[in-house]
Amino acid sequence: MTSTFVDPDLAAIRHVTPRTPNGCEECLRLHTPWLHLRLCLSCGFVGCCDSSPMRHARKHAHTVGHPIVRSFEPGESWRWCYVHEIYV
Ligand SMILES: [Zn+2]
Ligand SMILES: [Zn+2]
């Protein structure tokens, strides 16, 4: 697919430090399991992916309004926009 669309949410990206590098911040607090981790690129919130029971990364994006995450899995560097539901 070719597209010249530039996601305006990319402007929300900051230099962030993962707040909880050991796992999903909410799952660590709630003692719930997660599958994969996503890093919020606006604030450094680490949340669990859509395949996880609690989907904290998506919840964080919609509750706080931080649109872009990147994969926090080793060897993965893709970014995802929760507003436009696309890789950016
Ligand atoms: Zn979680
Ligand atoms: Zn955030």
For the chain, which ranges sit under pLDDT 50?
none
For the CA of 28, the nearest ligand:
1
What percent of the chain clears pLDDT 70, i.e. is strictly above it? 97
Give me the domains of the chain, ranges plus CATH numbers: 13-87 (3.30.40.10)
What distance in Å separates the CA atoms of residue 31 and residue 88, rounded to the nearest whole number?
A: 31
For the CA of 14, the nearest ligand:
2
pLDDT of residue 2: 63
pLDDT of residue 4: 83
In 3D space, the residue among 18, 56, 11 whose CA is nearest the CA of residue 34 turns out to be: 56
CA of 3 to the centre of ligand 1 (A): 33
Predicted TM-score (pTM) above 0.85: yes
Do residues 39 and 22 touch, judged by C-beta distance below 8 A? no
